[in-house]
Amino acid sequence: LVVAVVWFARLAVQSVLKRLCALSRGAPVVGVLGCLLDCCLKCIERFVKFINRNTAIVAALHGESYCPSARRAFRLLLSNVLRVAAVTTTGLLLLLLGKLFVVAAAVTTAWAWIRYDPLDQFLLLANRT
């Protein structure tokens, strides 16, 4: 629900900014302020999504309602900032390595299939006889 409220606010601001840009006939100040406001709202939306996910985890673990769980999750994240950063960075690195491995395996398989196509080898043997 909190994420939906932030998302709706961002959508409303974008609609108002679109109308302001049309009325101001492309004034650069309106465009810059619109981009700045949209960036701030997007940051708030991402922060709320992050806290909301951790709030759900804390609520499931401790059986509390949303607000006390959000407070507890925020305090927990704030007290372990370096650990959260290290785990996030390690997770992103492992995901990147996994994606690179999948791409490398697919490229190697495609190269081997093109280079040593078993059907071509069979047709070559069939034409010899």
What is the mean pLDDT, run by run of 10 residues, along the chain of 129 residues? 84 84 76 85 89 90 90 91 92 97 97 79 70
Would you state the pLDDT for residue 107? 97
Q: What is the largest CA-CA distance in the chain?
A: 80
- In angstroms, the CA 78 to CA 93 distance is 23
State the distance between the two ends of the chain, measured CA to CA, in whole angstroms: 73
The whole-model pTM stands at: 0.60
Would you state the pLDDT for residue 126? 74
